[in-house]
């Protein structure tokens, strides 16, 4: 059986998430890194294409394009509250979207065991790795449960329309927590009977390792850091 | 060899009533044993004692001895049992650690730190043995219940255990899925594995098992061997509260006009002929991956219980979801309403047309997992919220009707599965909607609870409600359904 390796190593993906978060979301580095920021805004879209997540890619593109157009055409000529709201929306979307899409890419393309293997290679303790692995499995589960609960509320005619908002929240959240907790319990029982325990040696048949793409990403990130440091210390000295 | 010697067990969480009392039996290597008995009789507890989940995961107090190959089990950690004892659980939604199927199959082996070549070898063999090449490298979130349960069995098989425990593995499977499970069990038995299987739906394993241990309120009441099993009749099963032995596909009941069962033909025809039906037209829904499900026209009998059957993937649940308005669609429902039918009724001769939100207001759906549709803090609140106008006295009458009056102030989540389902049915009654949909109302129910649901549905029918249920439970169909329709129209 062919066990294929994914395009990027899980460790590289983690690095990319970190870079998206600091460079694009938190805009670290300021004006000097604007070219890199642009590159890293585009990168998640390209990665989504390599993973064949076309719909996420296209929707993301559209949202980003509309936001940019708003920024250049509407925002310039607006004032008052509208201007404030627009600024908020534009900042949120342009900063968060690339990081979010990178997250989508990582979740869609990383297998739990690949992730676990990568964490083991980096000597991250199991106490941290296992809960993170469970999260991979758990988010889609919670979403599935949430969809069913929303459907049930709709069917019973309990919607945001007539009711009180606080009750709506309670109605949504309470069954979601109890369903998720129950699934979590069963999941743990099943994993325990198949030998998942802490601090034991385990094998991993996943093939992970750095390839050309990984090195390119790393070199780009390194160059960026050096360029940034040169500017930073250059201006100080 | 498995030996139980005078075992008592009491869960810490439920310290008043012991779950097992004075259980003693021996299972020889290679035997295939069915654990039968009503819900809460101690079947699952018995399996948990063997796979080590008791006491590590479910704490409690145990007396007596449990021995595997002559060794006391409490001296061994759960980890030491992995690779010798494998467990398949009930809920296919909740037994996978990984998101992709291939990783799931090798998960146990990896945990045991077996060498890589050995794992790959075992993986290839299991995939070939179970004919599941098509299921490899898939996300578990896109698999059907039956496919998930096959993955669960295979992920146990890669560990090469000598003892295999199954805890109600068929509860969420349709007929075809159950037949697949049956083949797996037969294959394991052939390989000389020791198998213990706890199950309500006994029909599909009855001729495979060598022995049946019958439990009642935590006690071992009977130990039937092959010779006795052969002579079991439907009557003997009923005496012990067991489900039917007849292994029949629900599709068997379908005829072109809808199969009519003899004992249920005495339905009063008080209503006028044209008012006797509900007509559905143009209900369609496109799945995310492109397949379209479509019902052009379907005539369903009004004031009857209609079962909808069909193989996996024919969109039975989707159909109910379209009907109840959970999924958006342009379908129309025609309901004859005597003189008040209005102008459109005169034109189409079918009755008043409903679509969209108005159609939704006619229909209440009881979902397969009632946990998804109970939101409030008490059973009474749950019923009150469903009423068009809240009326506590009426709500209490409804709770009386579904036999839940004494639980009015309990939190819905603290009830058992069967009780939760009855709360949902009570909400349906309270909503005064004339059409009730149920999605697999008997999955995981023992005979007593299944009969309760059947009785309740018959009573609702007599009160003038129309009931449509998706089911794969042939016994349930025989007992309470008037018409059986097959859903098979799926065009790509």
B contact residues 198-237, partner A, Cβ 8 Å cutoff? none
- Among A152, A195, A202, beta carbon nearest to B367: A152
* B chain contacts of residue A158, beta-carbon cutoff 8 Å: 375, 385
Of B53, B324, B367, the CB nearest to A192: B53
d(CA B91, CA B371): 14
Strands (E), B194-244: 194-198, 211-216, 219-225
Closest partner residue to A192 among B57, B98, B103, by Cβ? B57
Cα separation, A200 vs A211, whole angstroms? 29
Residue B441's alpha-carbon distances to B116, B457, B463, in angstroms, are: 45, 11, 20
pLDDT category at A199 given cuts 50, 70, 90 is low
Please report the ipTM that was assigned to this predicted complex: 0.82
CB B406, CB B417: distance < 8 Å: no
Going by pLDDT thresholds of 50, 70 and 90, the confidence category of residue B337 is low
| Per-residue pLDDT at B87 exceeds 80 | yes
Distance of residue A219 Cα from the nearest chain B Cα, in angstroms: 31
pTM here is 0.83
Task: Check if the beta carbon of residue B340 is closer than 8 Å to that of residue B348.
Answer: no
CB pair distance less than 8 Å for A179 and B371: yes
From chain B, the residues in CB contact with A194 under 8 A are 82, 86, 97, 107-108, 111, 155-156, 159
- DSSP SS3 for B205: coil
Give the pLDDT confidence score for residue B109 in this predicted structure.
93
The answer to whether the CB atoms of B385 and A144 lie below 8 A apart is no
* B1: nearest Cα among B20, B27, B31, B19: B27
Report the distance separating Cα A116 and Cα B254, nearest Å. 50
CB of B136 within 8 Å of any CB in chain A? yes
Q: How confident is the model at residue A183 (pLDDT cuts 50, 70, 90)?
A: confident
For residues B445-457, give the mean pLDDT: 92
Task: Tell me if chain A has a CB within 8 Å of the CB of B109.
Answer: yes
Among the partner-chain residues A1, A112, A200, the one whose CB lies closest to the CB of B99 is: A112
Confidence of residue B86 (pLDDT cuts 50, 70, 90): very high
Cβ atoms < 10 Å from Cβ of A156: 23
Cβ burial of B69 (10 Å; 0-12, 13-18, 19+) is exposed
Predicted pLDDT of residue B158: 94
pLDDT score recorded for residue B328: 80
pLDDT the model gives residue A163: 57
* Closest chain A CA to residue B81: A193
Q: Is residue A42 over pLDDT 80?
A: yes
Angle at B440 between CA B368 and CA B19, to 5 degrees: 75
Q: In A29-111, which residue ranges form alpha helices assigned H by DSSP?
A: 34-50, 54-69, 75-77, 80-109
Residue-level pLDDT at B338: 54
Residue bearing the bigger pLDDT, A27 or B2: B2
Percent of chain B exceeding pLDDT 90 equals 49
Q: What's the pLDDT at B346? A: 52
The pLDDT assigned to B271 comes to 34
**Chain B residue closest in CA terms to A207:** B116
Asked if B124 reaches chain A (Cβ–Cβ under 8 Å), the answer is: yes
- The shortest C-alpha distance from A197 to chain B (Å) reads 7
Q: Which residue has the higher pLDDT, B80 or B253?
A: B80
pLDDT band at A65 (very low <50, low <70, confident <90, very high): very high
Q: What are phi and psi of B6, to 5 degrees?
A: 45, 55
Q: Under an 8 A CB cutoff, do B371 and A189 touch?
A: no
- A9 or A134: which carries more pLDDT confidence? A9
The mean pLDDT value for B238-258 works out to 78
User: B287 to chain A, minimum CA–CA distance in Å?
Assistant: 15
pLDDT band of residue A162 (cuts 50, 70, 90) is low
Strands B2-11 and B20-27: antiparallel
Confidence band (pLDDT; 50, 70, 90) for A198? Answer: low
- Is the CB of B367 inside 8 Å of chain A's CB atoms? yes
Instruction: Mutate one of A3, A164, A193 to test the B interface: name it (highest B CB count within 10 A).
Output: A193
Are the C-beta atoms of residues B167 and B47 closer than 8 Å to each other?
Answer: yes
Give the helix ranges, DSSP H, for B209-306.
226-230, 234-239
pLDDT category at B349 given cuts 50, 70, 90 is low
Q: In this predicted structure, what is the pLDDT of residue B21?
A: 95
Helix (H) or strand (E) holding B9: strand B2-11
B321 touches A at CB < 8 Å: yes
Give dist(CA B368, CA B195) in Å, integer: 29
Contact yes or no for A156 and B373 at CB 8 A: yes
Q: Residue B133 above 70 pLDDT?
A: yes
B94 and A183 within 8 Å at the Cβ level: the answer is yes
By three-state DSSP, how is residue B149 classified? helix
pLDDT band at A159 (very low <50, low <70, confident <90, very high): low
Tell me whether residues B371 and A193 touch, CB distance under 8 A: no
Q: Which of chain B's residues have a Cβ under 8 Å away from the Cβ of A151?
A: 321, 326, 372
pLDDT band at B263 (very low <50, low <70, confident <90, very high): very low
Contact between chains at A187 and B109 (C-beta distance less than 8 A): no
Are B470 and B441 spatial neighbours (Cβ–Cβ below 8 Å)? no
**Cβ of residue B384 closer than 8 Å to a chain A Cβ:** no
pLDDT at site B152:
92
Mean predicted confidence (pLDDT) in B259-272: 34
Average pLDDT of chain B to the nearest whole number = 85
pLDDT of residue B119: 95
Q: Would you call B155 an interface residue with chain A, using a CB distance cutoff of 8 Å? A: yes
B372 vs A: CB within 8 A: yes
Interface contact A203-B114, CB threshold 8 A:
yes
* Partner-chain contact B96 A189, CB within 8 Å: no
Q: With beta carbons under 8 A apart, name residues in chain A contacting B98.
A: 111-113, 137
Give the range among B238-252, B264-278, B383-397 with minimum mean pLDDT. Answer: B264-278
pLDDT at position B190? 93
Determine the average pLDDT of the residues in B5-33: 93
Q: Which of B57, B103, B372 sits opposite A179 (nearest CB)?
A: B372
Give the residue with greater pLDDT, B122 vs B308: B122
Q: Out of A5-14, B195-204, B224-233, B359-368, pick the least confident.
A: A5-14
C-alpha Rg value of chain A to the nearest Å: 22
SS3 B211: strand
**pLDDT for residue B272 is more than 50:** no
Instruction: State whether A111 and B99 contact (CB < 8 Å).
Output: yes
């Amino acid at each position: 059986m062919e066990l294929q390796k994914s395009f990027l190593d899980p460790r590289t993906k983690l690095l990319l998430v970190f870079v998206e978060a600091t460079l694009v979301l938190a805009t670290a580095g300021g004006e000097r890194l604007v070219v890199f920021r642009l590159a890293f805004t585009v990168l998640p879209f390209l990665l989504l294409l390599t993973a064949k997540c076309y719909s996420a890619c296209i929707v993301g593109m559209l949202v980003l394009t509309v936001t940019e157009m708003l920024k250049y055409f509407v925002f310039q000529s607006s004032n008052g509250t509208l201007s404030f709201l627009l600024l908020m929306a534009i900042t949120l979307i342009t900063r968060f979207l690339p990081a979010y899409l990178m997250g989508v890419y990582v979740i869609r393309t990383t297998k739990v065991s690949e992730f676990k293997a990568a964490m083991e290679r980096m000597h991250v303790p199991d106490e941290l790795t296992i809960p993170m692995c469970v999260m991979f499995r758990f988010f889609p589960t919670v979403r599935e449960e949430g969809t069913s609960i929303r459907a049930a509320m709709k069917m019973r005619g309990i919607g945001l329309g007539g009711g009180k908002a606080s009750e709506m929240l309670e109605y949504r959240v309470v069954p979601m927590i109890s369903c998720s907790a129950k699934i979590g319990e069963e999941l743990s029982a099943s994993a325990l009977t198949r030998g998942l325990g802490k601090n034991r040696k385990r094998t991993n048949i996943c093939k992970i390792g750095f390839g050309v793409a990984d090195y390119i990403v790393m070199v780009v990130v390194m160059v960026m850091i050096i360029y940034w440091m040169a500017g930073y210390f250059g201006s100080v000295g | 060899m498995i030996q139980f010697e005078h075992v008592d067990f009491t869960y810490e969480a439920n310290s008043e009533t012991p779950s097992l009392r004075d259980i003693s039996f021996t299972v020889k290597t290679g035997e295939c044993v069915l654990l039968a008995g009503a819900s809460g009789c101690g079947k699952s507890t018995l399996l948990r004692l063997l796979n080590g989940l008791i006491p590590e995961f479910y704490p409690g107090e145990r007396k007596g001895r449990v021995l595997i190959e002559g060794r006391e089990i409490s001296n061994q950690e759960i980890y030491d049992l992995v690779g010798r004892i494998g467990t398949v659980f009930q809920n296919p939604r909740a037994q996978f650690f990984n998101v992709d199927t291939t990783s799931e199959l090798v998960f146990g082996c990896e945990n045991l730190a077996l060498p890589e070549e050995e794992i790959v070898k075992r993986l290839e063999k299991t995939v070939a043995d179970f004919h599941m090449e098509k299921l490899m490298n898939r996300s578990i979130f896109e698999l059907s219940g039956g496919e998930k349960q096959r993955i669960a069995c295979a992920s146990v098989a890669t560990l090469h255990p000598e003892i295999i425990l199954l805890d109600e593995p068929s509860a969420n499977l349709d007929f075809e899925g159950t037949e697949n499970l049956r083949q797996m069990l037969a294959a394991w038995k052939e390989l000389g594995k020791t198998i213990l299987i706890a199950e309500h739906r006994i029909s599909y394993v009855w001729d495979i098992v060598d022995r049946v241990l019958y439990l009642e309120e935590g006690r071992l009441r009977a130990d039937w061997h092959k010779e006795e099993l052969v002579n079991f009749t439907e009557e003997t099963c009923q005496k012990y509260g067991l489900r039917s032995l007849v292994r029949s596909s629900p599709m068997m009941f379908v005829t072109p006009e809808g199969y009519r069962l003899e004992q249920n033909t005495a339905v009063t025809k008080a209503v006028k002929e044209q008012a006797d039906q509900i007509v559905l037209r143009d209900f369609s829904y496109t799945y995310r991956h492109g397949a379209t499900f479509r019902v052009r026209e379907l005539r369903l009998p009004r004031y009857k219980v209609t079962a909808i059957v069909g193989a996996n993937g024919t969109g039975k649940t989707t159909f109910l979801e379209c009907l109840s308005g959970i999924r958006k669609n342009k379908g129309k429902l025609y309901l004859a309403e005597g003189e008040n039918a209005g102008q459109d009724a005169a034109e189409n001769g079918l009755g008043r047309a409903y679509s969209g939100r108005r159609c939704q207001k006619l229909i209440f759906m009881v979902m397969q997992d009632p946990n998804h549709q109970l939101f409030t803090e008490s059973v009474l609140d749950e019923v009150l919220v469903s009423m068009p106008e809240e009326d506590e006295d009426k709500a209490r009458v409804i709770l009386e009707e579904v036999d839940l009056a004494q639980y009015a102030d309990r939190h819905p989540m603290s009830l058992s599965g069967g009780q939760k389902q009855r709360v949902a049915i009570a909400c349906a009654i309270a909503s005064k909607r004339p059409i009730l949909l149920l999605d697999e109302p008997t999955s995981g129910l023992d005979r007593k609870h299944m009969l309760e649901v059947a009785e309740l549905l018959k009573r609702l029918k007599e009160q003038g409600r129309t009931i449509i249920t998706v089911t794969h439970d042939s016994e349930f169909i025989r007992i309470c359904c008037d018409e059986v329709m097959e859903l098979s129209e799926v065009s790509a």
